[in-house]
Structure 1
Amino acid sequence: MPTLFKGGPDPLVADNFMDRVEKYLNTMNLATNKLKITLVTYNFVGDAEIWWKTISHTHNLDTMTYDTFKKLYYEKYFPAPKWRELKKEFDGLKQGNMTVTEYKNKFTSLLRFVPGIANDEERKIEKFVDGLDLTIRPIVTASEQTEYAKAVRKGLVVKAENKDSKVIRKSYKHSRNMSAISEVQSHKKQKNEQSGFRG
């Protein structure tokens, strides 16, 4: 079973807990609402346990559905204003100073708050690519990826290629500068030798 859930103010902790619990419940293939609810609430401690005791006094647990339980849980630990805030954060998400990997991780963590995009591969790719850095976006767009995972990989490859080409350009520029300095020094040396010869 997943780790214990203490409650608290961070809705992402609550959502992650429920996500892990549901994966576990799905592998068990449980049929009854009561058994599902019992298994989830068994992991409640602290604030979550106190909240659940309050719910058990105000609701009939024998007739409660799992969907009702989840609705109550999310109303308590993941209120609608916080959900809207995270959705808004996703809507405005851009790569900015993040690496492609950091951007992808942030994108993925916020994606679950916009199920309309999460469940639509084309819109998901479009949103991901739209948030990429301007040096990467055109190349990923031109590659016309039809799978989200491939679009992410393409973004990582393009970023790596851009980085490599910058290193090569910098190295080339450095060697040109060194060559120019060497040429100037050689020219000065020749001049000095000539002026010394004349003297």
Structure 2
Amino acid sequence: MSRQQQNQATIVRDLLRVVQDLGRQQAQAGPASANTNNTNSIVEQFRRYKPPTFNGITGPLAVEEWIRGLERIFKQLSCTDAQKVLCAEFMLVDASGHWWESVSRTRTEAQQRNLTWARFKEEVMGKYFPQALRDRKEIEFLQLKQGKMTLVDYERKFEQLSRYAVHLVNTEQKKARRFELRLRPKIGGIIESHEFTTYIQVLQRAQAIANRLELDQTTQENTEFLGKRKWNGTNEGKGNGQNKRASFERRLESNKSNSVLTPCPKCNKAHRGECLYGNNVCYRCGKQGHIATNCQEPPPKRDNDQSKKGPARVFALTQQEATEN
């Protein structure tokens, strides 16, 4: 058994003991035992619902939730204000329990018997959830907008804060209009073209619009992603490949045109430049008086194009051909 369950069991036992002592005192005083039996029955029923406790150190919003939890139980029971107060008093534990005992000692027995449930709530709320803090919560509700929140988070926040400004949402139409005005413009602008009279209608319509906008956004992002991938991948690579291939083919054709020589119609030999056949000159240096095999001149220097393209072909005649020439 956990510590919280042990505390609740102890509280319930103390509560039953007090009720029984009260019943014995009333029986000795002479009143009818019907009221005592009824109180015992209420306490037993109250105990079955496992009511929450409040220790006074869990924050201002916790006391409000604690009271709301007790009131949900009281709705299921047929009990008087005095019985509600009696049950709630034993759910105040630790710091809050000590505080309530101190406050109770300042009352007379008549004031304690006549204490209503509404007055009990006012005293507890005044202690642990003062009016100044409730006013700040009301201002927070007045300034509430959806902004970047999801519709689910905005709806939850709206419901949480609206109870601090009940006068602004005390009808279905006022609540629906307030919720609509604070929606994100993309959603609220579409809803304004429709007439809704209930809060649930506005909420359902807003949810449908939000789902549609989210779907459109997802579709657009996927389209942009695929477009970028196609441009950066397939087409761009393909274009570069085509350009490289065309450049290679042009260089290949150029090399072919430079390396393939047609036979000279004068000497029937394949060579470059002017044909010297029949001019009685050296085919190496272009001077008269000797032939290429006996030429003492250094070989001509190659230009840059020839050095890049490789060694040039030299056309030389045999000794017999030179003598005949």
- What TM-score, normalized by structure 2, do the two folds share? 0.57
Q: Which residue of 1 aligns with 2:160?
A: 109
- Greater share of helix: 1
Q: Which amino acid aligns with 2:193?
A: A
CA–CA separation in structure 2 for the residues paired with 1:23 and 1:175: 55
| Deviation at residue 110 of structure 1 after TM alignment | 0.8
Cα root mean square deviation, aligned: 1.7
Residue pair 1:9, 1:77 contacting (<8 A) in 2 also: no
Higher relative contact order (CA 8 A, sep 6+): 1
Partner of residue 105 from structure 2, selected from 57, 80, 87 = 57
Residue in 2 aligned with 1:196? 248
Deviations 1:70-115 (A, max 9, x none): 2212211221101101000000011223211111111111111111
Q: Which has more radius of gyration? A: 2
Rounded Cα–Cα distance in structure 2 between residues aligned with 1:168 and 1:136 = 18
Q: Between Structure 1 and Structure 2, how many residues are aligned?
A: 198
Deviation string 1:120-148 (CA, Å, 9 cap, x unpaired) is: 21221122122222222212333433221
Q: AA paired with 1:155?
A: A
Q: Distance in 1 between matches of 2:249 and 2:58?
A: 85
Matched, 1:155 2:203: no
- Aligned-partner Cα distance in 2 for 1:141–1:196: 65
Kept in 1, the 8 Å contact 2:187–2:209? The answer is yes
C-alpha contact (below 8 Å) 2:169/2:178 kept by paired residues: no
Q: Does 1:22 align with 2:74?
A: no
Give structure 1 regions of 4+ aligned residues with deviation exceeding 4 angstroms: none
Determine the C-alpha separation between the residues in 2 that align with 1:24 and 1:141: 40
Tell me the SS of whatever aligns to 1:28. coil
Shift of 1:193: 1.6
Question: 5+ residue gaps in structure 2?
Answer: 1-49, 252-325
**More displaced 10-residue stretch of structure 1: 141-150 or 113-122:** 141-150
Establish whether residue 67 from structure 1 lines up as the match of residue 122 from structure 2: no
The separation in 2 between residues aligned to 1:88 and 1:9, in whole angstroms, is 23
Name the counterpart of 1:34.
Answer: 82
